[in-house]
A = this chain, B = another copy of it.
Amino acid sequence: MKVLVTGAAGFIGSTLVDRLLDMGHTVVGVDNSSTGQAHFLKAASANPRFGLERGDILDKQLLVSCMPNVEQVFHMAANADVRFGPDHPTRDLEQNAQGTATVLEAMRICGVPAIAFASTGSVYGEATIIPTPEDHPFPVQTSLYGASKVFAEGQISAYAEAFGIRAHIFRFVSILGERYTHGHVLDFYQQLVEHPEKLRVLGNGKQRKSYLHVQDCIAAIMTAIERSREKVNIFNLGTDEYCEVNDSIGWICAELGCSPRIEYTGGERGWVGDNPFIFLNTTRIRDLGWRPQFTIREAVLKTVRYLREEIHLINRD
C-alpha cells in the first residue's frame, strides 16, 4: 500500500522508511531538514517506490498534494527535545501541536483512514505508578514537550471520534541505535572524544531511565498496527528494564576505553522538567506477541559504535 511518513529523514523516521520499503510498500516521505539528515535516506532514495518531499508539515497544501491514495500516515515529525527553555516557548506548540493539527486536516481532506503517531512516555509527567501503565491516573505535565504530545494525542483521538480515522499512538521511552542524533549518549560520546579525562553529567547520575533500540521500536509499531484494530489504540513502548545514567556512563566508558573524572551538576533532575524515573509498563504491546531483541546495554553499545563510525556524517547545525 501507499504510506506517508512525516519526519522521514529523522532518526526513527528514516529507519521506518527503510522497513516500510523492505515490506514492499510505496512510501512518500516529508521532511523539513530541521533535524533530519539527507544521507539517512540514501538507500531509500535509490528505491523507485520512495519519494521525498522537502517541506514542513505546517504546509497543508504540501501535505494534501502528497496524500492521494495514501492508506496510512506515520506521523514522526516533531520537536523531540524534551528540555524546556524560555528561549523557545512556542517550539513545541508550533512543531508538535500545530504540526499535528495540519497533518490531521490534510488527512481529513484527502480521506486518509489511518495514522500512527510517535508520542512519548513524557506524557506521564512524574508518574506515581512505576512501571507506568497506559491508564495511569490523569497525569500532571511537567514539560511543554509532554504537554504538546498530550495535545497531539488528543487531536488525533478527536479526529478518530469525528471522522472514523483509526489511530495508533505510541508512547516511547528514549530510542537508541543507528542514526541516533541527540540525547545523552551523543552528549557523553562527544565530551569523551574531546577530553577523555573528564565527563560532565547533568543531575546526580542516579536518574533512572528506560531505553529501546530503534529496530525494536519499529517492530512494535508494525505489530500493533497489524494486530490491534480499535478506533484509538495506545501503547507504551519500552524494554522491561531500566538503568541509571551512571550505568550507561559505565558502558560507554568501557566501550571507549576511558576512565573519566565525573562532574555531576547535582540534583535529582538533569534539567527543568526532567523526570528522575522513567519506566513504562509494556504489558499491552507484549500481549500482542512483541518482544524487544536488544537489552538497554546492547542498545547503548550499538549507539556508541554507530557514533564512532558515522558521527562525522551527522550534520548538527
Contacts and interface: CB of A to CB of B under 8 A. Distances in A.
As for how many copies of this chain the complex holds, the number is 2
Interface string A2-18: 00000000000000000
A88 to B, nearest CB: 11
A97 B99 CA distance: 13
Q: Which interface class (under 10, 10 to 19, 20 to 34, 35 or more) fits A?
A: 35 or more
B86 A108 contact: yes
A63 B16 CA distance: 44
A101 interface: yes
Given A136-B138, A140-B232, A162 B97 contact: no
B143 A147 contact: no
Interface string A86-112: 100110010001100100110010000
Interface stretch (A42-50, A151-159, A191-199, A258-266): A151-159
A150 B90 CA distance: 17
A93 B155 CA distance: 10
A115 to B, nearest CB: 14
Nearest to A132: B138
Nearest to A98: B93
A148 B146 contact: no
A105 B86 CA distance: 8
Given A84-B162, A93-B97, A153 B141 contact: yes
A309 interface: no
Given A137-B137, A144-B158, A151-B154, 14 more contacts: A86-B162, A89-B101, A89-B104, A89-B108, A90-B101, A93-B97, A97-B151, A136-B137, A136-B138, A138-B138, A147-B157, A148-B154, A161-B273, A162-B272
